Chain A
Amino acid sequence: LLKESCMKPLPSLAPLSISLVATCLGLAAAACGGDSGDGDDGFAEPAVVEDFADQVVVPTYELLAERTALLDVAVEALAEEPTPVGLTAAQDAWVAMREPWEQSESFLFGPVDAEGWDPAMDSWPLNTNDLEAVLESDDELTQAYVAALPETQKGFHAVEFLLWGEDGAKTSDEITPRELEYLGALTDELVSVTDQLATSWTEAYQGGASYRERFATAGADGNTAYPSLEAAVQEILVGMSGICDEVANGKIAGPFDARDPNLVESQYNFNSLIDFADNIRGVRNAYTGSMPLAGTEGASVSAYVAARDPELDEHVRAHIDEAIAAIGAIPSPFRDAILDEANDDVIIAAQEAIRHLQETIDGELTTLVLGS
């Protein structure tokens, strides 16, 4: 993508020569030649980028919207009849909805970030003080009301808190009508956000082309977001690497290093370790150009690598499997596991497996796909 030889620093120059330097830069860089995005030895597989959008991102967001709608239906049913069966159904719907979301965290670029939808859905930690204050207020709890609430009083974890309670042991008898009213407004707003997220990739976005269009046409004339195919495939690799970093050094290291269960995400329903494993499954989806939960598959970075260095492709796949297995070896719930030193070895082993995967992505994989 960027040749080192084009980036040699100039020796210190007197201010008078600045305008001369400026005019020279262009000519010199042009003379450097043919590396403006579509060189013959660079990454040139539009199908990988297109299918990443069509077979990974769009199906993931559509499944998220679909499962969020089912959560909303389950919460409505629970409000009508707050029975143990109804509560279990709503809780199961939350866990099902969570799966595609966690898998989507290997590609947190574009509208999900730009529009603030990620924090609107998935802010952590919750502001439980103000969440309780909302319940105690006389305010009418509607979708518009929730939309204007701070991110830390809504989203997945607010729903989780209300469905499971602080100790994860809530019963249907304990759910108050006020909590059910809040839950209904929360899931209505989540339906709205997940719908907007899915359609931002498939329909007009910000008055222009869909985000699918902007990403999948990387390298086309006038594409200001992704002026080259290399930039788009770099986006895929950076997303894979970024979520590895987040899981090993954020989601696990944060609470583990501080021995602080308050820092553990999805701590009310003990879903933390499932979240982490789904994050790494999201890496696999991105790498293999597929979304197994939706049954989609296409051209992939994996196939691109396998055609050039089959051994490296095997390594990346094996590292993904090892990272998921290592997370699975940590005793659940994670919020208790971090308090018992007997678990330190397996927790550290999981971190190392994920870091190993990240190093392979940042190192050999990036070098093969983008050149050095």
Chain B
Amino acid sequence: VAAARGGGGVAWLGAAAIAACVLACGDDRAVDVPAGGALTVFDRSSNAFSLPAPGLAGTDFDRHVQGDAAFDQTFVTGDAPVGGGLGPLFNNTSCVACHNRDGRGLAAISPDRASSVALVRVSLPDGEPGAPGGPVPLPEVGTQLQDHAVFGQQPEARIELTWALLDGAYADGEPFQLRLPGLDVELAGGAPLPPGTMTSLRQPPAVFGLGLLEAIPDDALLAAADPDDADGDGISGRVNQVWDGLAQQTRIGRFGAKANTASVREQVAGAYFHDMGITTPLVPGDDGAAPDLPGDDVEATAFYVATLGVPARLALSPEAARGELLFEQMGCASCHTPVQYSGDHELALLRDQTFAPYTDLLLHDMGDALADGRPDFEADGREWRTPPLWGLGLVQTVLPGAGYLHDGRARTPAEAILWHGGEADAAAEHFRTASAAERAALLAFLAAL
């Protein structure tokens, strides 16, 4: 894929940037934006994504602890004394089993496993959408394949994941290998997917920092959007407009690889329902039965993820500091917006923060190689939401073997960069054609996040 890239010169802004910085800084005093504003925590262990935000106190702290327990709860079948209500169809049996230590999950999916960590979204090109403007579900299946089931029940699909290797090379001749996921899906009873079915693989994302992302005002996202590339910089950026089932209205999407969910609460309640088969008052299911889980527990889980701390980045080595300049110069920061500002939010803790998620939360055309061909609300089959990069340097500490990008295909941040195409093609090409020292500097910067 990336080996086919053409040449291209880096716009060297270095000298001007340094001059401007000296003027701006004025003296030697250190300046930094804490990764999570007031929610910033200082931990570089495997526990770094699992800490409560500083400043949580009293009933808020108790609420966070309640949500922590709910996040860890393993669900089982039926009316068991503890944790009943699982399934009958599911992908996994607890929140934490997929979001390891509140971070990512492995791209693991197989009928031979007790449960799957990755999942496959499905939809049809035409028909009646499941929600206004949303994807068209497969009859009897929906928009997500549950590939496991409680004892005695058939899962709705058997999914095998295979990897194909692709060879490429940096401009200086150093070879690299990328891996491309392939899905082999069989519905229950051995039937193939209906003709035209669109599929898309997802690796679980980290869940910390979601409250801050929710608190970025709509206006700020709309102001940053440039759907027609009016400024001619080659980067468009669109907001997704999605159906919010809780609010029963169309809102700006922020969460999910295609920004197809508007709020943390809806994301959490949807995950209980789709990933674990747990009904809640928020997403009750359609059989009229009593919910499997009280609304209070769902709300506590949503509170928990919204109030997790965000790990501070490391102080930058000289090499990493050079990498930060390259991050700007190569064009990475055009979409991975370093600094965001929160506005109002029902949780006081999240209001008026300056923080550094490295995302614009907008949809961008990422090119053919990453395209899944499966639209999700207004996101088309080539568009993905810019994921935040905070905590990137802790990914292998928290979960050894964790992948990068929406489906975990990239095994390293370097591979993830090389997959970038479409609007990010020029930036990725800057990286591929950079010297080994410059590439190492950029990666050192990312490792400090």
Contact = CB atoms under 8 A, between A and B. Distances in A.
B435 interface: no
Contacts, number: 235
Interface residues of B, number: 82
A331 B321 CA distance: 58
A109 B445 CA distance: 25
Nearest to B413: A224
Interface stretch (A91-99, A116-124, A319-327): A116-124
- Secondary structure at chain A's binding surface: helix, strand, loop or mixed? helix
Interface stretch (B119-127, B204-212, B334-342): B334-342
Contacts of B339: 10, 13, 18, 21-22
Q: Looking at A29, A31, A211, A242, which has the most chain B CB atoms within 10 Å of its CB? A: A29
B47 A242 contact: yes
Contacts of A133: 151-152
Contacts of B138: none
B33 A150 contact: no
Contacts of B40: 7
Interface in B55-86: 65, 69, 74, 76-78, 80-83
Given A116-B97, A119-B94, 20 more contacts: A6-B32, A20-B17, A24-B25, A25-B33, A111-B400, A114-B100, A114-B400, A125-B74, A125-B76, A127-B77, A130-B150, A149-B114, A150-B115, A152-B93, A224-B396, A225-B400, A235-B397, A238-B43, A238-B45, A263-B82
A254 B223 CA distance: 48
Nearest to A37: B314
Contact of B151 (A7, A13, A26, A134): A134
A151 B74 contact: yes
Contacts of A37: 314, 317
Return the 4 tightest CB-CB contacts between A and B, nearest first: A26-B324, A26-B321, A127-B76, A30-B321
Contacts of A299: none
A58 B110 CA distance: 30
B74 A119 contact: yes
Contact of A22 (B223, B224, B324, B447): B324
Interface string A107-149: 0011101101001100111111110011001000000100111
A252 B106 CA distance: 31
B324 A150 contact: no
Contact of B30 (A6, A120, A254): A6
B125 to A, nearest CB: 34
16 contacts: A22-B327, A22-B339, A26-B316, A28-B29, A37-B314, A109-B46, A113-B399, A114-B402, A123-B74, A125-B83, A133-B151, A148-B114, A151-B74, A152-B74, A214-B400, A260-B81
Contacts of A2: 42, 312, 314-315
Nearest to B41: A2
Given A36-B317, A227-B393, A238 B93 contact: no
B76 A231 contact: no
B400 A120 contact: no
A238 B83 contact: no
A27 interface: yes
Contacts of B437: none
B47 A114 contact: no
A254 B78 CA distance: 22
